[in-house]
A and B are shown apart, each in its own frame.
Chain A
């Protein structure tokens, strides 16, 4: 449960940062919410919790008083990415890179600007690799300790 609370807090912070222009690099911002959800979903296998995280991010990212089509695309693309994660056979980081790339392309389809997609892909891939590694250290260690006790 503590892991889920920490994950929710991380997704909340990442989504809030995504609604600012603080991380604009070359006029492009990384999709922090997507990156965190994918990185966390590598360790969080309960589907209800995954869906809660996706909806939490979508709620914060909503840019109007009502849901718009981009919110629906975000929810669908992120859920698709999380589902795909379970079917890929490679290591966590590689799986993360593949699903984040797929979701980034889907999310950028409305604008379809090659330069922006490439720049965002690079940023998202670097971030998902780093966060998967970091979460692996914190979440992974905790799981190993539990196993040892029994």
Chain B
């Protein structure tokens, strides 16, 4: 009798663990740990990663669609040229006042990646200040903890004023949180954290999602 009760309890406990998902988490962590130690990927992890990648792509697409719906957009504007000297980072785009573009409009690439803001508008072209311009400054949020910080442009994008107690790590995504720009535009990910003991704030280096060299078409949000 005791034997059947024990088996029953074990089956019940197993069902509870599996239902709660704890077992699945433990299994994933263990296989991931083993994979990291042995340098191999387990089949189920691969499948899960693929699923995550698919879902992330779908999420990006939906976010882009949502942004387009919540803002008036002008899509597929060609990039003419970039500022020829290194003192500024600006691009000229093939759309201007005749397409109702105005100063301060947000310029994005690939739906969600922030390029910059319209600086000056001419009849059929406009000048856009990019996030790489030395004068660029904007409020951002980092990672899942959504730590507030300040992004400064330049040759190397740096994030300042990150609170010491903010839990951020390398690889965390950085999004826009500036009142002059749509919320949640992608900027890149943290590639390096600079933490000096005794400082009130942390600093970080941003690996940008935008590559100016590959920029051909942009979208404008108003």
Interface residues of A (CB under 8 A from B): 15, 18-22, 24, 26-29, 31, 33, 61, 63-65, 70, 74, 107-108, 110-111, 113, 115-116, 120
Contacts and interface: CB of A to CB of B under 8 A. Distances in A.
A63 B120 contact: no
Nearest to B123: A65
Contacts of A28: 86, 155
A31 B90 CA distance: 16
Most chain A beta carbons < 10 A, residue from B84, B86, B120, B127: B84
A21 B215 contact: yes
A73 to B, nearest CB: 9
B213 A22 contact: yes
Contacts of A116: 86-87, 155
A27 B127 contact: no
B92 A63 contact: yes
A68 B84 CA distance: 13
Interface of B: 81-88, 90, 92, 120, 122, 127, 132, 134, 154-156, 212-213, 215
Given A24-B212, A27-B156, A63-B92, A113 B84 contact: no
Contact of B81 (A63, A70, A74): A63
Contacts of B90: 63
Per DSSP, chain B at the interface is: loop
A111 B155 CA distance: 11
A27 B82 contact: no
Given A19-B84, A61-B84, A110-B87, 8 more contacts: A20-B82, A27-B156, A28-B86, A64-B127, A108-B85, A108-B87, A111-B134, A115-B155
Most chain A beta carbons < 10 A, residue from B83, B92, B120: B83
Contact of B212 (A19, A21, A74, A115): A21
A9 B134 CA distance: 33
Nearest to A26: B155
A63 B86 contact: no
Contacts of A15: 84
B83 to A, nearest CB: 6
Most chain B beta carbons < 10 A, residue from A19, A28, A33: A19
A63 B83 CA distance: 7
A65 B122 contact: yes
A24 to B, nearest CB: 5
18 contacts: A15-B84, A19-B81, A19-B84, A21-B212, A27-B155, A31-B85, A63-B83, A63-B84, A63-B90, A64-B122, A74-B85, A107-B87, A108-B85, A108-B87, A110-B87, A111-B88, A116-B86, A120-B86
A79 to B, nearest CB: 17
Most chain B beta carbons < 10 A, residue from A20, A63, A64: A63
Contact of B82 (A21, A65, A107, A110): A21
A53 B18 CA distance: 76
Most chain A beta carbons < 10 A, residue from B87, B90, B134: B87
Contacts of B134: 111, 113
